[in-house]
Amino acid sequence: MRLSVVVSAVVAALVGFGGTLAIVVSAAKAVGADAAQTSSWVTGLCLAMAATSTILSLRHRIPIITAWSTPGAALLAATAAPIGMPAAVGAFLAAGALILLTAAFRPLGALIGRIPTPVAAAMLAGVLIRFVLATFESAQHAPALVWPLVGLFLAARLLSPSWAVLAVLGAGAALSFALGITGPMPDRLGLTTVTPIAPAFEPSVLIGIGLPLYLVTTASQNLPGFAVLKAAGYAAPARSILGVTGLASVLTAFLGAHTSNLAAITAALCTGPDAHPDPDKRWMTGPFYGLTYLVFAAFGASLVAIFAALPGDLVKTVAGLALLGPLTGALSGALSDEKDRFAAVLTLAVTASGYAAFGVGSAFWGLAAGLAAVTLDGLARAWRGRS
């Protein structure tokens, strides 16, 4: 046991929580959640992180770090009109059920694996790009707040990309106070409460939100998470991880929480030699990571209230800067294969446009357009090969 184990776990939890909480709060507002439901949402996510990381790390004796689906939260935050929490919970249940099915049935996992990586990455990029652009749209009417934070982010990321977002969040809160643009802060940190929510299953929401939520979580969180474990020399128990996170997603959906999944960026903080020089001892970061999220869960309501008091331009700036890295990775993946590059660009364009039809959002139509282009290109190549 080393102090580095505890430090690595706590830093990973702080980076994961503080770096992306703004995106979750934005998602809750977009779907129409009130303050109590938003608090319950965050608390449910924290409970899921605490339970899944601890259980999986103890069971398999490897550092299995989980997180909430940041791309999924970004997808929800891009919702054109509030769908209401009952319909959102129905979509969360559907996404969690699909993750469980992926764990149970190998053919379904293989089918998802056949979606071309450039198309999946382009769908993610189309969702994320709107949030990155929102940062600089905020700079139009709040330049005194946004531009200093952008400068700080560019400087801080040279030292530590992971801590750069937290530095922006802390500096942004202080600058907002100095400019007098914050709302009322909570008087004290109080223990949180949860709000059970009965689901409503609306076909358009299940297709337009539930299915894309499952796909971006699988393609943009779980698959990179497996790659991080493999790079660190661990054989990832994929079915166990998907089963546990899928079950957690289903159970916490009734608290308003969206999908849980394997972490990638924060996981890298716990799987390397900085956590422990002995690879067989790094699994201990999992329980300490879970304990840290248990503390976050206890004060979820107060943490959400603090974020609600911050100016909207600050929340947009933090979220946009936090998503610059994922957007860069998504764009790189989308344009990596020349064969599927056209389909990827088409997917990105349709997804980023915000196009919706029959109540189904642009992420689904972007994926459909990209898959159609890939299919037609494949048929054309096959035809030319025969003639």
Please enumerate in sequence order all residues whose Cβ is within 8 A of that of 112, keeping only pairs 6 or more positions apart, or say none: 102, 215, 218, 219
Q: Name the pTM for this structure.
A: 0.76
| 341 has pLDDT over 80 | yes
**Residue 112 binned pLDDT confidence (cut-offs 50, 70, 90):** low
Q: What is the mean predicted confidence (pLDDT) over 46-55?
A: 96
- In the numeric block, the tokens 């494949």 are attached to 378
| 108 has pLDDT over 80 | no
| 167 has pLDDT over 80 | yes
Q: What is the mean predicted confidence (pLDDT) over 189-208?
A: 88
**Which range among 65-69, 70-74, 190-194, 273-277 has the greatest average pLDDT?**
65-69
**Residue 359 binned pLDDT confidence (cut-offs 50, 70, 90):** low
Q: What is the mean predicted confidence (pLDDT) over 187-216?
A: 88
Residue 37 belongs to what domain range? 3-182+198-386
| 110 has pLDDT over 80 | no
Supply φ then ψ for residue 84, to 5 degrees: 90, 145
| 347 has pLDDT over 80 | yes
142 vs 115 pLDDT, higher one? 142
Residue 240 lies in a domain: yes
Q: What share of the chain is helix, strand, coil (3-state, %, to 5)?
A: 75, 0, 20
Distance of CA 386 to the CA centre of its chain: 44
Alpha-carbon distance 357 to 231, whole Å? 41
Backbone CA torsion sign across 269, 247, 37, 134: positive
pLDDT tens digits, residue range 171-190?
A: 998 999 998 888 777 777 77
pLDDT in the model for residue 350: 93
| 36 has pLDDT over 70 | yes
| 109 has pLDDT over 70 | no
Mean pLDDT of the chain: 86
Residue 148 lies in a domain: yes
Helix (H, G, I), strand (E, B) or coil at 40: helix
pLDDT tens digits, residue range 131-145?
A: 889 899 999 989 999
**Residue 299 binned pLDDT confidence (cut-offs 50, 70, 90):** confident
Least confident range from 54-63, 289-298, 354-363: namely 354-363
Alpha-carbon distance 275 to 282, whole Å? 6
pLDDT in the model for residue 311: 85
111 vs 73 pLDDT, higher one? 73
Q: Are 301 and 189 in contact (CB under 8 A)?
A: no
Q: Are 220 and 330 in contact (CB under 8 A)?
A: yes
Residue 189 lies in a domain: no
Residue 99 lies in a domain: yes
Residue 70 lies in a domain: yes
pLDDT in the model for residue 327: 83
Q: Are 117 and 337 in contact (CB under 8 A)?
A: yes
pLDDT in the model for residue 111: 65
pLDDT in the model for residue 96: 96
| 326 has pLDDT over 80 | no
Query: How many structural domains comprise the chain?
Result: 1
Share of the chain above pLDDT 90, in %: 41
Alpha-carbon distance 82 to 69, whole Å? 20
Q: What is the mean predicted confidence (pLDDT) over 339-349?
A: 93
pLDDT in the model for residue 21: 85
CA distances from 266 to 10, 185, 280 (A): 10, 29, 19
Residue 190 lies in a domain: no
